[in-house]
Amino acid sequence: MGYGFNPISVWFCHRRDGRLAAILHEVHNTFGERHTYLIPADVIPNGGQTDLHQECAKTLHVSPFMAMDMRYHFRVHVPDERLSLVIRGDDAEGPMIVASLAARRRELTDAALLRAFARTPLLTLKVIGGIHWEAMRLWIKGLRLQVRPAPPVNSVSIVTPAR
């Protein structure tokens, strides 16, 4: 309907031979800004499943209640018939936020898109409303607001693996 908000988009970048090379984590905030974290993929077998652990410094201001001095930790199940993503944001004292997504592969057809729209016609408004509702509740509880910094100069952070 012409309006959309997606807090995060995840892009899996494969080499020509099909091996996973990197993941792009494109983060959006409610201020209309976005930042992409390009992180190399070090895939590790985990009980017969393929999981990936990545981390990077927070670069984009997302929440007015969280300082910029944080690190994101991503745990990704590399997509096959399912996808799972867990993001944890830590500051110097430990975890501040945890968000997760679990999904199953579906064939992308016109009928499937129409069914998804019919089931959740106002999903974007629900997401934005929920974000602002929770923000109001935190503000009422007395959580102090952080100063909103300027957006990052570069739109992509390229994370180099630790050696």
Whether residue 5 is predicted with pLDDT greater than 70 in this model: the reply is yes
Confidence bin at 50 (pLDDT 50/70/90): confident
Neighbours of 43 (CB within 10 A): 13
Give the pLDDT score at 46: 60
Mean pLDDT score of the chain, rounded to an integer?
90
CA gap 41, 73 in Å, rounded: 13
CA gap 89, 37 in Å, rounded: 14
Residue range 9-37: average pLDDT?
A: 93
Whether residue 19 is predicted with pLDDT greater than 90 in this model: the reply is no
Give the pLDDT score at 80: 87
Confidence bin at 3 (pLDDT 50/70/90): confident
Q: Which two tokens stand for residue 99?
A: 């968000």
Give the pLDDT score at 43: 65
Give the pLDDT score at 1: 64
Give the pLDDT score at 26: 97
For residue 34, the one-letter residue type is R
CA gap 44, 26 in Å, rounded: 23
Residue range 138-143: average pLDDT?
A: 94
35 bridge partner residues? 27
For residue 153, the one-letter residue type is V
Residue of higher predicted confidence among 85 and 19: 85
Share of residues in the chain with pLDDT > 90 (%): 72
Whether residue 90 is predicted with pLDDT greater than 70 in this model: the reply is yes
Give the pLDDT score at 101: 92
